[in-house]
Structure 1
Amino acid sequence: MLFVQHKRNKLRMSSTSSFQEIAFKAELDRHVDPECEHQARILCGEDPTTRVAVVEELRNIIYKRGECHPPRMDDAFLLRFLRARHFILARAHRLMVRYCKFREQNLHLWRDVYWYGLTRLGNIFEGVLFDRPDVGRLIICRLGKWDPDILPVEDIIRGCLLFLEVGIMQPKLQVLGGTAMIDCAGIGMKHVRQLTPSIATQAMNVMGITFPIHQRGVHVVNCSRLFEKLFNVFKRLAPSEDIWKKVYFHGYDYDSLHRYIDPECLPKRYGGRREPVSLKEWLTKIKYYKNKQFDEDLRTLGYAIDE
């Protein structure tokens, strides 16, 4: 009986491992399948028959107004901004301007940063490779796992940015968007002292104000009332109130979290059914499966790559 159970467990582990390996390979997939086209219509207001013309119109607006100088102007790059703003040209252009301005003002967050070197962040960031239309990609920041004595706070922002920049290369994630979780377990005063207004502003910009991703929500868990009040102080720094409408505090109540995120999408530690993937493991697999196009895309954005 024990032998049979052991065999079943091995098969289950093998099946999970195989699924994750397929998911890792798909992280660099630029293919748009029929299901993605269908979801793009529903979630992004995208019409395949007019897509090329709308992209060209956005390009013309950027050139005509001259308010920003994007690192790329190809169709694939511009398309992610349109998808993030429901194919509304004016909103997509404003997002592009904010994105470029943020890059210009925070060059230290990516210029000459060796992307694979951010594996040093270990499991501070995690992702769940189970993307659904109602949740998108779930990204988790476990702030308590960060040691400020070893890693500068800027590395936290760099890690989040890289997670997003690489993820958004996938058309599927451009369409589905993402959901963020901030796990405050283990946070102490040495962490709080690092959260200056400048860092808070950078974090809010990355979470959705300047980045071309459909932000579905930010969920804060394992958070005391004191820390919730600290978050509320940061509201004054946000240029738009819209971002705060999507921030939810759950304290230590996972049942509250489950009302917004199906346990099917969550790691087991939050009452879910999934195995999370650390930033370190994810980047290691990306490096293994990456191609010349990936290198060129990151080089264009300013990251240092393998020579």
Structure 2
Amino acid sequence: MALRFDKNKVPHIDLGSNLQISLDFTEYNDKQSLDKAWQELHETSETIEVRLKELRQLLKNEKDLNIPIDDDAFLIRFLRPRKFHAERAFETIKGYYKMKANKDFVLDNISAKAISVALEERVIQLYPLRDQHGRRIVYMEAGSNWNCSKVPFPEVIRATHALLTLLSLEPRTQLNGIVFIVNFDRLSFSHLGQFKPKFMNNVLDYGQRYAPMRIKSINIINNTTLFNILFQVCKPFLGQKWGQRIHFHGSSIEALHNQIEPHCLPAKLGGCMDLIDYEGRVLVEFLEQFQDKFDELNCYGYRQKDK
């Protein structure tokens, strides 16, 4: 297991057994993806051209917002999750950058270094294979394997946001989306105290309304009675769409496999993927290779007004 580079100096994590973690920022052009883009997002070359023009016109009136309005790829990142509705993408962009301007939240100044502890503690992990629908799989520890004294919940969310920010730059992920597996095994009262209602409201508001990505499902495993207390805190903040996309599997591996097929899951989740428990430091080293993208994105946002 190690960070490696291909002949074009593109980084990847070599996990052995022909498995690797890599990112792909190239546009899709295969028939299957193009057909899916049309069916699910109403995406065609003509639609892209028209909606980009509409979105740019809306953004021109947002004088205090500094973003690369002429960058097609940047704007498409917001259009795809909103199925090429220009006005909805516009609202997402405004909401996202207003939340980024809120220094009490965790969207500003993202970097591999800032989230290194969460990654080294393996609180959040990226699986190498996509699922049967082409969706990225993100695994999170929210129980006994989460040392919340080392990684408080806001830092878990900061790390999750930073990782998802890179994934959201992948056109195939913009199309197919992301699925979560969250393990609440042996959730304790010390863990429960991390979930402050106001912060949870912000997290769910961001995820449901302003995150420029398609969150297709959230799979909760090993949820117990104590988890139900936590869910009652979150429930008032859940909209209908996310309410339908959260699946509670308890200890049932079969229920999880109904959502995510075993071929893309490791043995600990009843899968057949020969995945070792890779060290979190390697994921830190991998994300450091994309610091230029973090730096660029960190520059964008609402201009601070003179007091």
Partner of 2:222: 222
CA contact (8 A) 1:127 1:277 kept: no
Instruction: State the shift of 1:277 in Å.
Output: 5.7
Amino acid at match of 2:141: R
Decide which of 15, 39, 43 is 2:40's aligned counterpart: 43
Contact 2:187–2:227 (8 Å) recurs in 1 = no
Percent identical: 21
The residue number in structure 2 matching 1:32 is 27
- Cα distance in 2 between the residues matched to 1:176 and 1:270: 22
What RMSD in Å do the two structures reach over aligned CA positions?
2.6
Instruction: State whether residues 111 and 294 of structure 2, in contact with CA within 8 Å, keep that contact through their aligned partners in structure 1.
Output: no
Structure with the largest fraction of helix: 1
Give the alignment of 1:282-293 within 5 angstroms.
282-288=283-289, 290=290, 292=292
Q: Letter of the 2:181 partner, please give it.
A: M
Closer/same/farther in 2, CA of residues 108 and 278 from structure 1, 3 Å limit: farther
C-alpha change, 1:291 and 1:101, in structure 2 (3 Å) is: closer
Residues 141 and 183 in structure 2, CA contact (< 8 A), matched pair in contact too: yes
| 1:176 matched residue in structure 2 | 176
Find the counterpart in structure 2 of residue 91 from structure 1. Answer: 88
Q: Within 2, Cα distance between the matches of 1:70 and 1:43?
A: 30
Inter-CA distance 97–295: structure 2 relative to 1 (3 Å threshold): closer
1:68 and 1:96 in contact (8 A); partners too:
no
State whether residues 136 and 176 of structure 1, in contact with CA within 8 Å, keep that contact through their aligned partners in structure 2: yes
TM-score under structure 2 length normalisation = 0.81
Which runs of structure 2 are paired with 1:234-249 in the superposition (5 Å)?
234-238=234-238, 240-249=239-248
Q: How does 1:106-255 map to 2 (within 5 A)?
A: 106=103, 108-121=105-118, 122=120, 123-132=122-131, 134=133, 136-144=135-143, 145-238=145-238, 240-255=239-254
- Shift in alpha-carbon separation, 1:295–1:231, aligned structure 2, 3 A: closer
Residue 77 of structure 2 aligns to a residue whose secondary structure is helix
CA gap of 1:89–1:261, structure 2 versus 1, over 3 A, is same
1:287-307 C-alpha deviation (Å, 9 max, x unpaired): 24x485x354344358xxxxx
Structure 1 unmatched ranges of 5 or more? 1-14, 303-307
SS of residue paired to 1:182: strand
Matched to 2:184, the amino acid is C
The residue number in structure 1 matching 2:76 is 79
Separation (CA, whole Å) in 1 of partners of 2:100 and 2:206:
11
Change (3 A) 1:55 1:204: same
Equivalent residues of 2:181, 2:221 under 8 A apart: yes
Aligned counterparts of 1:49 and 1:173: Cα–Cα separation in 2: 21
